[in-house]
Structure 1
Amino acid sequence: MADTEKWEILALQSEFDWVLQHEVPAAVKQLRTVVEECARHFPLSVGKIVTPPKLEKFVMATASHNAQDSIKCIVTVLGDNITNADINIKLHKNTSQYHGQLQTEWKLQQTQDAANHLQSCCYYLENMDDGIIKSADEALHAMNTVQAFLSKGRNALIIPKKRTIDDLVSSRNMKSLIPNLPSDLTVSFYIQGHKLIFAVYLLSQSQGHVKFDTFQAECSVPWLSEVIALFSDALQLCQQLKDKVTVFSQYKDANLLGSRCVNSDVLEDLYSSCFRAS
Structure 2
Amino acid sequence: MATAAASGAERRVLEEEFKWLLKEEVHSVLKQLQDILKEASRRFTLPSGTADGATKQENFVLGSSSTDQVKGVLTLQGDTLCQAEVNLKVTRTNQLLHFAFRDDKQWKMQQIQDARNHVNQAIYLLANRGENYTFQTGSEVLKLMDAVMLQLTRARNRLTTPATMTLPEVATSGLTKMFTPSLPADVLLNFYVNVNKLCLLVYQLHALQPNSTKNFRPAGSSVLHNPGAMFELNNQRFEVSHVHKVECVVPWLNDALVFFTVSLQLCQQLKDKISIFSSYWNFRPY
Overall identity of the aligned pairs, in %: 34
CA distance, structure 2, for counterparts of residue 106 and residue 176 of structure 1 = 8
CA RMSD of aligned residues (A): 2.4
**What is residue 12 of structure 2 aligned with on the other side?**
10
1:11-51 deviation line (CA, Å, top 9, x unaligned): 22122122112210110111111111111111269xxxxx7
Q: Deviation at 1:79?
A: 2.1
The 1:112/1:44 distance shift into structure 2, 3 A limit, reads: farther
Q: Where does 1:182-201 land on structure 2 (aligned, <5 Å)? A: 182-201=184-203
Task: Check conservation: 1:62, 1:70, Cα contact below 8 A.
Answer: no
Q: Deviation at 1:94?
A: 6.9
CA distance, structure 2, for counterparts of residue 203 and residue 168 of structure 1 = 13
CA distance, structure 1, for counterparts of residue 173 and residue 37 of structure 2 = 34
Task: Check conservation: 1:9, 1:254, Cα contact below 8 A.
Answer: no
1:174-222 deviation line (CA, Å, top 9, x unaligned): 0001222232321111111111111112335552231535321111111
Q: Deviation at 1:95?
A: 5.6
**What is residue 118 of structure 1 aligned with on the other side?**
119
CA distance, structure 2, for counterparts of residue 207 and residue 29 of structure 1 = 61
Q: Does 2:81 match 1:82? A: yes
Q: Where does 1:244-259 land on structure 2 (aligned, <5 Å)? A: 244-253=273-282
Q: Which has the higher helix share?
A: 1
Higher relative contact order (CA 8 A, sep 6+): 1
1:138-173 deviation line (CA, Å, top 9, x unaligned): 010011111111111121112111111111100011
CA distance, structure 2, for counterparts of residue 97 and residue 169 of structure 1 = 21
Q: Does 2:214 match 1:215? A: no
Unaligned runs of at least 5 residues, structure 1:
46-50, 256-278
1:115-148 deviation line (CA, Å, top 9, x unaligned): 1111111222112133332211001001111111
The 1:187/1:94 distance shift into structure 2, 3 A limit, reads: farther
SS at match of 1:150: helix
**What is residue 57 of structure 1 aligned with on the other side?**
59
SS at match of 1:132: coil
Q: TM-score, normalised by structure 2?
A: 0.79
The 1:246/1:253 distance shift into structure 2, 3 A limit, reads: closer
The 1:94/1:235 distance shift into structure 2, 3 A limit, reads: farther
SS at match of 2:246: strand
CA distance, structure 1, for counterparts of residue 198 and residue 92 of structure 2 = 25
Q: Where does 1:18-167 land on structure 2 (aligned, <5 Å)? A: 18-43=20-45, 52-63=54-65, 66-67=66-67, 69-90=68-89, 92=91, 97-103=96-102, 104-130=105-131, 131-167=133-169
Q: Deviation at 1:254?
A: 7.3
CA distance, structure 2, for counterparts of residue 44 and residue 162 of structure 1 = 28
Q: Deviation at 1:91?
A: 5.1
The 1:91/1:245 distance shift into structure 2, 3 A limit, reads: farther
CA distance, structure 2, for counterparts of residue 84 and residue 110 of structure 1 = 18
Q: Deviation at 1:93?
A: 5.9
Unaligned runs of at least 5 residues, structure 2:
48-52, 209-213, 219-229, 231-238
SS at match of 2:184: coil
CA distance, structure 1, for counterparts of residue 162 and residue 82 of structure 2 = 20
Task: Give the number of aligned pairs.
Answer: 249
Task: Check conservation: 1:98, 1:181, Cα contact below 8 A.
Answer: no
More divergent stretch after superposition (85-94 vs 174-183): 85-94
SS at match of 2:59: strand
CA distance, structure 2, for counterparts of residue 6 and residue 18 of structure 1 = 18
CA distance, structure 2, for counterparts of residue 83 and residue 253 of structure 1 = 57
**What is residue 263 of structure 1 aligned with on the other side?**
none
CA distance, structure 2, for counterparts of residue 182 and residue 113 of structure 1 = 31
SS at match of 1:2: helix
